[in-house]
């Protein structure tokens, strides 16, 4: 979302400063924006990283806070942004925006919602939801609820984001999960 060559140079400079700090904390720079005086740094865990519960790990608030302080200190020293600005450091969240090919590649096998610039030639829909089957530098392949695969070129995508799906568990599964967590916690404490 860069509107001018000057802002593009600022984003490039910010990226040069932020990337090593993010990498040192074993995080991934998911996205970077400079819009209307706001520098938005979006970080995530490295792809494939799992938490203690065996599920994909997220970025905790302690790392966000530390990263904010480190970036702020670096910006005070290097002054990459002319004038006043607001620094926002955040994670992409459960339902994340997909803007770049690397965002789509990272989210393969997840459910996404896509809004197109024009209706599809095959069915006339402007909004498509389904499992992201594949993604490369040119297009994505989405499998809709009818099990039909649709190829979509990035140029025809207006907006896209992941869809968080709540998984329901039975009371028995929840009890088993609590026992497993308690046993794991006790083992770590000893």
- Tell me the C-alpha distance between 162 and 99, whole Å: 11
Nearest in space to 139 (alpha carbons), one of 172, 116, 162, 123: 116
Instruction: Look at residue 56 and tell me whether its pLDDT is greater than 80.
Output: no
- Supply the CATH classification number for the domain 5-90: 3.30.300.70
Question: pLDDT tens digit string along 61-77?
Answer: 899 999 999 999 999 99
- Supply the CATH classification number for the domain 101-162: 2.30.30.100
- Tell me the C-alpha distance between 45 and 64, whole Å: 11
Q: What is the DSSP string of 66-123?
A: HHHHHHHHHHHHH--S-S--EEEEE---SS-B--SHHHHHHTTTSEEEEEESS--TTT
The pTM of this model reads 0.69
Mean model confidence pLDDT for the chain: 82
Where along the chain do its domains lie? 5-90, 101-162
Per DSSP, the three-state class of 25 is coil
């Amino acid at each position: 979302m860069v509107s001018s060559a000057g802002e593009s140079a600022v984003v490039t400079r910010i990226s040069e400063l932020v990337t090593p700090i993010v990498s040192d904390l074993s995080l991934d720079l998911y996205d970077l924006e400079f819009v209307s005086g706001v520098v938005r740094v979006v970080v995530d865990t490295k792809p494939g990283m799992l938490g203690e519960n065996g599920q994909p790990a997220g970025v905790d608030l302690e790392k966000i806070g530390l990263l904010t302080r480190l970036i702020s200190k670096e910006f005070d020293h290097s002054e990459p942004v002319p004038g006043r600005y607001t620094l926002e450091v955040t994670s992409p969240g459960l339902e994340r925006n997909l803007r770049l090919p690397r965002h789509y590649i990272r989210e393969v096998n997840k459910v996404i919602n896509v809004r197109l610039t024009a209706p599809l030639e095959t069915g006339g829909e402007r909004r498509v939801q389904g499992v992201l089957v594949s993604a490369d530098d040119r297009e994505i392949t989405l499998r809709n609820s009818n099990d039909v695969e649709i190829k979509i070129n990035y140029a025809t995508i207006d907006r896209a984001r992941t869809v968080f799906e709540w998984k329901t568990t039975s009371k028995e599964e929840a009890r088993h999960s609590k026992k497993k967590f308690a046993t794991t916690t006790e083992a770590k404490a000893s």
